[in-house]
Amino acid sequence: MTALAPNTHGLWGDTAVSAPTTAPLTHDHDTEIAIIGAGFTGLRAALELRAEGRDVAVLDSGEIGQGCSGRNGGQVNPGWKMDLHEITAHYGRDHAHRALELAKSTVPALSALINGEGLQCAFIENGYVQGAVGQRGMAAINQRAAQWVEHGIDAEILSAKAGQDLLGTEAYDGVMLHAQGGNLHPLSYARELGRVVIERGGQIFTGSRATTIGQTEQGFTVTTQGGCLRARKVIIATNGYTDQLWQGLAQAVVPVASSLSATAPLPQHVAEAILPGRHSVSETRRIQVYYRMTEDRRFVIGGRGATFGPAEQGSTQEVRAIARRYFPALADVDWTHDWAGTVAMTWDHAPKLMRLADGVYAGMGFNGRGVAMATAMGGQLAHAVLDKPTDLPITGLYQTPFHGLRKLGIFGTLARGRILDRLDQNTRG
Ligand SMILES: Cc1cc2nc3c(=O)[nH]c(=O)nc-3n(C[C@H](O)[C@H](O)[C@H](O)COP(=O)(O)OP(=O)(O)OC[C@H]3O[C@@H](n4cnc5c(N)ncnc54)[C@H](O)[C@@H]3O)c2cc1C
């Protein structure tokens, strides 16, 4: 894999809009609500809190969008990892209705935010496509689409031939075209959120890792190397990059690496045959790839990353080979960027909204589906710190069972997933 430094954000680092000017925290600073993590979750929370007239300061150990938010595939998907009937079962009678309404609203709310604020992030809203392989895959998309339709959102199943016309690949036995979704430039979206937070009077301190959170009579002191944030309340929005800042919080999620690769801008005749509608595609495979085209006609594909060691050590040979198999026209193109990030998986596929102490909340765990959902989580966290009702239930600190064995678990899941995916391939129509 190409060395990541100095641009850890791959293609996005080279093509994003400029970041607003920020600097590290170099003094002690008083605020009402301290937010740790300048990704979609933390920034959206900051924006919502500023709209409520609250004083906020955001800290990030790196830049705005340093973590998942500046590295992801930019695919906008509805809801979160769970199917709607799983949401109903998971949240139970008391919470299912609000959780379902939230799932239905993540993409429309993202769209309203981007369009309402005029965020420059190449957002296109052309639906969400999932390609199905084999009988299991077809059953999954049929069931999924039916549930969304039952809840009033359009989702249609296209035949293999219609799917091929839509996407330009023969890879699937059928595809789901869901009305909600699209794609955007993720680092631009994060930077634009940051710009608006600052324009509305919020503070963002970059290059400022929070090392401890201490309780005081007035609230909390968040310590960084250059100074402290004194705050009445704290939001932790560190997702797949959660460290030891709050005891036990890193065990709420399982960090899993994903690697991406991007081509040079494709010649017009090649680009026209690949995703002509510029859709974002994910799959029903257990070890899936996800891919899209960009505004400047580059093909971007992501998939499984390094199992052991830092995400940045993952190879992209496998996803490039899949790209060439799905789209033979990519056989001789130049690949210009490789990068990687750490997805925050949860044991039960549910995102976690947690109250860690009186006045300290955390939201994370989007299972690779966080462009719209992390944005929604920011709103949920803002409500939580303001003691307003939330759509997701607030739990205590969530701890993943057998977290210490996670690497072995990931290894086993990958091996099993590969075998089962191969069997699915054999049941292709
Ligand atoms: C490779 C990859 C591809 C993905 N593709 C997609 C996709 O196509 N579509 C989709 O919907 N989702 C995708 N996701 C998921 C999506 O990117 C995330 O769910 C979303 O960005 C989470 O946002 P966040 O703000 O919660 O976390 P992050 O963006 O990770 O932000 C957390 C921030 O916390 C900071 N931080 C951590 N610890 C500290 C500390 N102690 N002090 C200060 N700062 C700290 C980090 O530097 C980081 O910037 C992908 C994720 C990855 C990694």
Give the model confidence (pLDDT) of 70-118 as tens digits.
999 999 999 999 999 999 999 998 899 999 999 999 999 999 999 999 9
- The neighbour count for residue 153, using CB atoms within 10 Å, is 19
Per-residue pLDDT, averaged over 399-415, amounts to 70
Q: What percent of the chain has pLDDT over 70?
A: 93
pLDDT of residue 5: 45
Q: Which CATH number fits domain 1-124+183-253+347-398: 3.30.43.10, 3.50.50.60, 3.90.79.10, 3.40.50.300?
A: 3.50.50.60
Mean pLDDT over the full length of the chain: 93
pLDDT of residue 411: 65
pLDDT of residue 3: 41
**Are 225 and 269 within 8 A, CB to CB?**
no
Q: Does residue 395 sit in helix, strand or coil?
A: strand
Give the residue, out of 69, 253, 319, 380, with the most ligand 1 atoms within 8 A of its beta carbon, to mutate for a pocket test: 69
Q: Give the neighbor-by-neighbor strand order of the sheet with 352-357.
A: 203-205, 56-59, 33-36, 233-236, 360-364, 352-357
Q: Name the residue type at position 7.
A: N
pLDDT of residue 407: 65
360 pLDDT tier (thresholds 50, 70, 90): very high
pLDDT of residue 406: 65
Domain residue ranges in the chain:
1-124+183-253+347-398, 128-179+254-345
122 pLDDT more than 90: yes
311 pLDDT tier (thresholds 50, 70, 90): confident
Q: How far is the CA of 318 from the centre of ligand 1 (A)?
A: 23
Rounded to whole angstroms, the Cα distance separating 50 from 284 reads 40
Q: Whose CA is nearest to atom 19 of ligand 1?
A: 370
- The neighbour count for residue 308, using CB atoms within 10 Å, is 9
Q: 134-150 and 84-117 helices cross at what angle (nearest 10)?
A: 70
List, chain by chain if needed, residues with CB within 6 Å of any ligand 1 atom.
36-42, 59-62, 66-69, 71-75, 77, 209-210, 237-241, 243, 245, 258, 260, 290, 302, 341-343, 364, 366, 368-371, 374
298 pLDDT more than 60: yes
Per-residue pLDDT, averaged over 157-170, amounts to 97
2 pLDDT more than 60: no
Closest CA to 21 of 161, 163, 197, 148: 197
Rounded to whole angstroms, the Cα distance separating 425 from 429 reads 9
The total number of residues shown for the chain amounts to 429
Q: Kindly provide the residue ranges of all beta strands, DSSP E only, lying in 278-422, ordered along the sequence.
A: 281-283, 290-293, 299-304, 335-345, 352-357, 360-364
297 pLDDT more than 70: yes
pLDDT of residue 285: 87
Both tokens assigned to 325: 């198999």
CATH code assigned to 128-179+254-345: 3.30.9.10
pLDDT of residue 8: 87
Question: Of residues 292 and 312, which shows the higher confidence score?
Answer: 292
pLDDT of residue 4: 41
Whole-model pTM over 0.75: yes
Check the CA dihedral 115-149-280-347 and report its sign. positive
